[in-house]
Chains A and B, each alone.
Chain A
Amino acid sequence: AQSVTQLGSHVSVSEGALVLLRCNYSSSVPPYLFWYVQYPNQGLQLLLKYTTGATLVKGINGFEAEFKKSETSFHLTKPSAHMSDAAEYFCAVTLPNSGYSTLTFGKGTMLLVSP
């Protein structure tokens, strides 16, 4: 079975500062990994995903994430935070090509951005 751990339920940054949201996974085989963003009282929106190939993945809104197999990590970064980035972020994992596998989500990290 696969699982995801997001370190830190809340992360606070100043506008213009680096954003780093941490995600570690546990999987018996190389997984597919996803980051989603959720604004208050809305559904989740896909930011980026890693399947195969290049380990540095670029997504929407200036976010990117790097798959590091040796560290079992898929941390999300953005060089400069904007006020509009304040939201909750979820990391998710699935096992590729495994039939009825579903996405397993982490508990989420709330990003707070101060002026």
Chain B
Amino acid sequence: DGGITQSPKYLFRKEGQNVTLSCEQNLNHDAMYWYRQDPGQGLRLIYYSQIVNDFQKGDIAEGYSVSREKKESFPLTVTSAQKNPTAFYLCASSMGSSNYGYTFGSGTRLTVV
């Protein structure tokens, strides 16, 4: 079955460490997205990529980095510069533009300890 796989489901990080969240899709979608979800704040866009080797900053990109070396993969790195990284992170993809809506992964819950 086609879909988006995020791993790990739960992740714990010590302050000052970088951590990478994985997102893989086998839907042959061109576009991929990373959102951050905090209680009562909805989903906020971190980064998105419409094609391989190209990506754009979203509304809250500071302290995060991404790469898009393959169509299927869009990993997100949470760096030590992110002041408050504890959150639920959602990866999504779409066929082309957002006109079609997104398919979401099941999320990664990151906790800084």
Q: Which residue of B lies closest to A44 (CB)?
A: B104
Asked if residues B106 and A43 are in contact (CB atoms below 8 Å), the reply is yes
Q: Residues of A within 8 Å of B, CB-based: how many? A: 27
Whether A43 and B90, one on each chain, are in contact in the complex, defined by CB atoms closer than 8 angstroms, is yes
Contacts of A100 in B (CB 8 A): 50, 56, 97
Judged by a CB distance under 8 angstroms, whether A84 is at the interface is: no
B42 x A105 contact (CB < 8 A) = yes
The interface size of chain B toward A, counting residues with CB under 8 Å, comes to 27
- Would you call the interface of chain A mostly helix, strand, loop, or mixed? loop
B40 contacts which chain A residues (CB < 8 A)?
9, 107-108
A residues 77-111 in Cβ contact with B at 8 Å: 90, 92, 94, 96-103, 105-108
Q: Which residues of B contact A (CB under 8 A)?
A: 4, 6, 33, 35, 40-43, 45, 48, 50, 56, 58, 88, 90, 92, 97-99, 101-107, 109
